[in-house]
Amino acid sequence: MAALGFAHALAEGSLSLTVGVQESGTVQWEIETIKTLGLDGDRDLFLDIRYVADSRAGQIALQTGAVDVILSDFVWVSAQRSLGNMLTLVPHSLTVGGLMVPADSNIETVEDLEGETIGVAGGPADKSWIILQALYESRTGKSLTEDAEARFGAPPLINELLGSGGVAAGLNFWQWNARAKAAEMAEIISVKTMLDELGIAEQPPLLGWTFTEDTASGKTEAITAFLDASFAAKSVLLNEDDVWTGLQELMGAAGDQPLFVQLRDDYREGIVTSYDPDDVSAAAKTFALLGQYGGNDVVGESPHLAPGTFWKGYRK
């Protein structure tokens, strides 16, 4: 894996971490903000940022010790802990995605999906797809997988199919939905609203900065400094418009102001502003829901959120 080439000269601090960053991921916006504002150097921290091709490659890099920290989801971390792999995480983002339709669509509610073809970013075990199935069953008493056809694919393909009429609705990640909104498509329902209707009023932090317990104990100061820098960057991204100007090209929105604003505003909706490791009820309820409707293919061997999934060594 090649080092991620940000054009910023950094003085090496006394603390250091190697962070695996998905090269196409929105997490780069936070990392770039940390580096641009010197939020790492302010904490005497040197970050060695390395590209990973996708989330699976990041997980492998973490498990083999090639990197100290990656961004991953709490469901995977819990499943790994149940297998004896002692990973843990601190929340990074609340944002998930939602169900999109073309502007002229006749689909107005989840019930209208009967008889339609739905594009789903990911595969049959995608968490948003499982949550949509749970909502459909709760509303209709029927099975969405029996009532509708699902077409699975990468996020860009799902947006392409949605725009060309290849699918009637698309269930995609938030950043791709932002692009669909900028193209005047409509969101029928967000995953956040789906969970709310299913009895999970507080949105769980799906993604988090993930590391091993060995790293947490062996590099506690570095992990803490990194998390402090992360939360400082989140605060800036939430409250200051000017910092976003330098991110426009990285966001893939250079020269497209409506898309830039949509991406910025939707990103802000998912920013985590605080963290209490003793308050994991929303995550536990979501994990149980995913286990109920998705089974072992989604949550692993245990139907319950594993203790220690959220790191108790930090709070904000």
The answer to whether 314 and 235 have CB atoms below 8 angstroms apart is no
The answer to whether 61 and 70 have CB atoms below 8 angstroms apart is yes
CATH code of residue 133: 3.40.190.10
* pTM metric for this prediction: 0.92
- Structural domain contains residue 138: yes
pLDDT one-digit tens code per residue, 7-49: 343 445 689 999 999 988 899 999 999 999 999 999 999 999 9
Average pLDDT over residues 228-241: 98
Distances (CA, A) of 283 to 11, 27, 78, 211, 277: 38, 21, 10, 18, 11
- Structural domain contains residue 308: no
- Structural domain contains residue 305: no
Query: CA dihedral defined by 299, 305, 309, 313, rounded to 10 degrees?
Result: 170
Q: Which of 6-10, 126-130, 132-136, 286-290 is predicted with the least confidence, judged by mean pLDDT?
A: 6-10
Same domain, 164 and 231: no
Distances (CA, A) of 273 to 43, 94, 207, 250, 262: 19, 10, 14, 23, 20
Same domain, 150 and 271: no
Residue at which a domain ends, from 149, 181, 197: 197
Same domain, 214 and 289: yes
Number of domains in the chain: 2
- Structural domain contains residue 316: no
Closest CA to 56 of 25, 97, 93: 25
Same domain, 86 and 231: yes
**What range defines the domain where residue 145 resides?**
97-197
pLDDT of residue 23: 85
- Structural domain contains residue 223: yes
Tell me the β-bridge partners of 48. 18
* Distance from C-alpha of 180 to C-alpha of 173, rounded to nearest angstrom: 11
H-run or E-run covering 57: helix 55-63
pLDDT one-digit tens code per residue, 199-227: 999 999 999 999 999 999 999 999 999 99
Residue at which a domain ends, from 164, 197, 230: 197
pLDDT of residue 1: 36
Same domain, 191 and 51: no
pLDDT one-digit tens code per residue, 47-80: 999 999 999 999 999 999 999 999 999 999 999 9
Distances (CA, A) of 103 to 119, 169, 187: 16, 11, 9
Same domain, 84 and 161: no
Percent of the chain, pLDDT > 90?
Answer: 93
Same domain, 217 and 79: yes
Same domain, 109 and 188: yes
Same domain, 182 and 262: no
Confidence of residue 96 (pLDDT cuts 50, 70, 90): confident
Q: Look up residue 190 and give its amino acid.
A: S
How does DSSP classify residue 240? -
Same domain, 219 and 277: yes
Average pLDDT over residues 281-301: 95
* Distance from C-alpha of 161 to C-alpha of 159, rounded to nearest angstrom: 5
Same domain, 166 and 43: no
Q: Are strands 97-101 and 169-173 parallel, antiparallel or unpaired?
A: antiparallel
Q: Which has more pLDDT, 5 or 261?
A: 261
Average pLDDT over residues 125-147: 97
Residue at which a domain ends, from 197, 230, 250: 197
Looking from the CA of 308 toward its CB, the CA atoms found within 13 Å total 13
- Structural domain contains residue 5: no
- Structural domain contains residue 234: yes
Average pLDDT over residues 183-197: 96
pLDDT of residue 253: 96
Can you list the positions of beta strands (E) in 36-177?
Answer: 45-52, 70-73, 87-93, 97-101, 117-121, 149-153, 169-173
Q: Dump the DSSP string for 89-103.
A: EEEEE---EEEEE-T
Same domain, 162 and 220: no
| Statement: residue 4 has pLDDT above 70 | no
- Structural domain contains residue 315: no
